[in-house]
Structure 1
Amino acid sequence: MITVRDLRVELGGRVVLDGLDIDLPDDGVVAVMGPNGSGKTTLGRVLLGLVPPTSGVVDGRPARCSAVFQEDRLCEHLDAVANVRLVLPRDVSSTSVVTALRDLGLPADALRRPVRALSGGQRRRVVIARALLPAADLVFLDEPLTGIDADGREAVLAWIAEACRGRAVLLVTHDRADAERLHGDVVELAPHHDRRALDGVTDARL
């Protein structure tokens, strides 16, 4: 169990999170929802160890973590399979990577093209495979389905649900249906009550 108690985070002099308590089970999805600027992404970055809390306690954070960020963060000159293999042990076969990408809906002719030549939805499938194939105990999914068309959404959600079994998952989403499809417990975040502290902050990456 990952426990967060009385979490406060200030970024650039702005209060993004204040007095937050939240629990993440070792096996289950917690879906965080709320408007831009409410601290959803910041919470995930704290759990990953990328942003230090200003105050408060985070207990039980595992050493093995992975993430789907809002930005794809792919190696543009590498193909889809190579991008995923970068984060996997050498003994993991390319065949298993290809199988995962195909199950996620990536066309066969897209597997060996540089990812810079892929569509937004195809790139997102590569990002999802890269985050969920490694043996991570905590997975942070920040709007993972961005760019994925409605026809492919259900298959991708089903693959994510299966890949997340046995892990702690923090999902950031604006779509309650996605949270329900992943059987997530929904936590609603509101912007910090001190509006002066968030004046002008509309960046979804908070």
Structure 2
Amino acid sequence: MPTGSIMEPMTVLLLDARWPTLIPFQFVPKLKGQVVYTDEVPVTVRWDFGDCVAPGEDTLLVSTDEHAEAVQDARARGEEILEVPSRHEAMGQAIRTMERALHLGEWEQLQTHATLVSYLEEETAELKEVIEQGGSDEQLCNELADVLLQVLFHAEIADRRGAFDLNDVAAAFVAKLQKRAPYLFDGTTEVVSADEQVRLWEEGKLR
């Protein structure tokens, strides 16, 4: 249940769980009234939120979970829903879908990194087959989506044990490229030769 009592009329602000402190400027004039939160909203967001909200008689429900009961009830009543645009970005939707899959699916909850290895091998083999057989762009896209599912799945399992999340995986990718392809980050504007790329890559692997 959200913190505080809820009264009508209500406005719902749906934040992006990846960046819960980012609120579009156009939403600010509508942020007014008594603020209540669904349980998952970080404490740090609650601390800072008061400075953004004007006094008013209405209720402002702040959430990062579109499936929260209070959000669903408000939607059913036809209350105004302010949803930050980044929530509609496909990668964010994919992450939330994977989170929900592990929350609701018993099969998903039973999986480990080890039990998923065979699925990763299967999906990688299918991707390889589509590429080698000259499959269509649609087939290639679908097979890449299956491989992405595996990445999302492993990252979510790791996140649930407090090890790392998909953002950490992305950060590791960038850190690796900073070492092995420094020309991507140092302002280089000319095309880098393949020989130089190989040299830098091998050199970066030693760091």
Which TM bucket (shorter chain)?
A: under 0.3
Structure number with higher relative contact order (C-alpha < 8 Å, ≥ 6 residues apart): 1
Q: Which has the higher strand share?
A: 1
Structure with the largest fraction of helix: 2
TM-score, structure 1 normalization = 0.25
Provide the TM-score with structure 2 as the length reference. Answer: 0.25
Which structure would you say has the larger Rg?
2
